[in-house]
Chain A
């Protein structure tokens, strides 16, 4: 079993739709959680950190469920520009050198 697993996708949704991605992790000692966005053939960029209480940034909401060991990303009112691959990243309890990336979930938003 992989340390970090994501919905395989791809997700194809119309503009304006709401879409949710899940990510599960196996190490219960994991401390920090992130969603990165990666556009085709580009470098990953931080979308948002995921806090224990959940957090929202505009149309994006991230939540953490420690008991079930998963994090989620909700995108409301999808835009064409949201089309990308979304990477779930989990850090251990030491330092960022132990970041584990999921394989990513690809989202395509269509007109």
Chain B
């Protein structure tokens, strides 16, 4: 039982390049989330998917797109990377997306945009 996995662990991009961050969970959770964490700051929600087939914007969605491929997988795409998107990206999942549930996080993807 791997929990939440993310690939890649590290990535360096040049401004304007595109990439997709992959996330998968094996806990049969309905809800999945993408966060970014900048140095010295808390996590900010980019997008979330309450259930398979639905996605909604979070606090900082600009410059990102997401796809809930199936119940297990939730990907985050940067179409044209910018230096401001340099950050650590965490994927998370929770059972039903209810307010009292624990969120389980993946190990993160460290992205540097030059």
Query: Interface on A for B, CB 8 Å cutoff?
Result: 4, 31-32, 34, 41-46, 49, 87, 91-99, 101-104
A43-B58 contact in complex given A4-B42, A91-B99, A101-B43, C-beta closer than 8 Å: no
A45–B90 Cα gap in the complex (Å)? 12
A97-B48 contact in complex given A42-B107, A46-B102, A49-B100, C-beta closer than 8 Å: yes
A41–B105 Cα gap in the complex (Å)? 13
A87–B45 Cα gap in the complex (Å)? 14
Query: Residue B2 at the A interface, CB < 8 A?
Result: no
Count of chain B residues near A, Cβ 8 A: 26
Once the chains bind, are A95 and B90 in contact (CB under 8 Å)? no
A94–B94 Cα gap in the complex (Å)? 15
Residues of A within 8 A of B41 (CB): 103-104
Residues of B within 8 A of A97 (CB): 31, 33, 45, 48, 50, 56, 58, 97
Q: How far is the CB of A20 from chain B (nearest CB, A)?
A: 19
Once the chains bind, are B42 and A96 in contact (CB under 8 Å)? no
Once the chains bind, are A46 and B108 in contact (CB under 8 Å)? no
Query: Residue B44 at the A interface, CB < 8 A?
Result: yes
Q: Chain B, 94-114, contact with A by CB distance < 8 Å: what is the 0/1 string? A: 100111111101111000000
Once the chains bind, are A43 and B44 in contact (CB under 8 Å)? no
Q: Chain B, 23-58, contact with A by CB distance < 8 Å: what is the 0/1 string? A: 000000001010100001111110010100000101
Residues of A within 8 A of B40 (CB): 103-104
Residues of A within 8 A of B98 (CB): 95-96
A101 — nearest CB in chain B belongs to which residue?
Answer: B42
B91 — nearest CB in chain A belongs to which residue?
Answer: A43
A109–B54 Cα gap in the complex (Å)? 43
> From residue 62 to 114 of chain B, which have CB atoms closer than 8 A to chain A?
90, 94, 97-103, 105-108
Q: How far is the CB of A74 from chain B (nearest CB, A)?
A: 21
A70–B49 Cα gap in the complex (Å)? 29
Residues of B within 8 A of A31 (CB): 99-100
A91-B100 contact in complex given A97-B31, A97-B48, A97-B56, C-beta closer than 8 Å: yes
